[in-house]
Structure 1
Amino acid sequence: MIKNIQEWLLLLGIYGGVVLIGNWIGYDVMPVGAVPGMLILIGICLIGLILGKVMPGDIPSVAYVAIIGVLFSMPWIPGSDLVVSFTNEVNLLAITTPILAYAGIAIGRSWTDFVKLGWRSIVVAMCVMVGTFLGSALIAEVILRMQGII
């Protein structure tokens, strides 16, 4: 169990660093201001992962993470206003972007498999991402214009 916790801490630390950099570059939030919120989020994730291992039953860790996050942010929980104010400094999109990138790579099973695919697959992936983005933007533009919002 100690080895798992060490692994989780390492991975969450790396992920937290990437999120802080993305938060800084994309949303002009200085990393120093977002570190307390990131540490709270990492702590919530770590507690959820530990509970997922030690609790009986087949409940996934993500459920524990969600429950703990909701509980820590409830208005009647002491210190929740502090938790909410600190975590508000970490932008949601700065959190989701690295997760989605990791999930995309994880689909390929491993980094070595990803590297074996070669540079052509990276070009194809970039074209798919750009096409998806442009398609989504076009649909949003049309719908918002039809509704008179823009």
Structure 2
Amino acid sequence: MKSLLLLPMLMLGILFTSCKKEEIIQQEVVQPNRTIIFEVQSSAWKLNNNTHTWMAELPIDELDDDVNQNSGILVYISGNKQLWEPIPDVYNGSTYIYTYTTGSIFLEVQGADGATIPAPNSTTFVKVVLVDSAPIP
């Protein structure tokens, strides 16, 4: 009698242990940030008499409408491409800020005390980092 019960139990054991669970893992695609380096020559700075600031426009094709509306734009300046300072910042006694719109970044510089200063007289290196992002609906 025991042997008659043993055979069906063995069959059930084999049937239930032969199932294999598979887990499907989807890999997320991450869009990398983009970095663009500009050299702003001293001749690129134009004085805005209304605000008493020097302005330089950096045309940037990568800054399309989608990037303008959804991504982060970070800007850094340097005098030697070795030491980078994030903007807004006071750098060498001058205050630097930036604004942007589709297709352009605008750098502005004035004296740290708000006074009009001479235009930067050497090449200023500018690093622009576009941090891709997607809006949350």
- Please give the TM-score of this superposition, normalised by the length of structure 1: 0.21
Structure showing greater radius of gyration is 2
Question: Higher strand share goes to which structure?
Answer: 2
- Please give the TM-score of this superposition, normalised by the length of structure 2: 0.22
Q: Using CA pairs below 8 Å that are at least 6 residues apart, which structure has the higher relative contact order?
A: 2
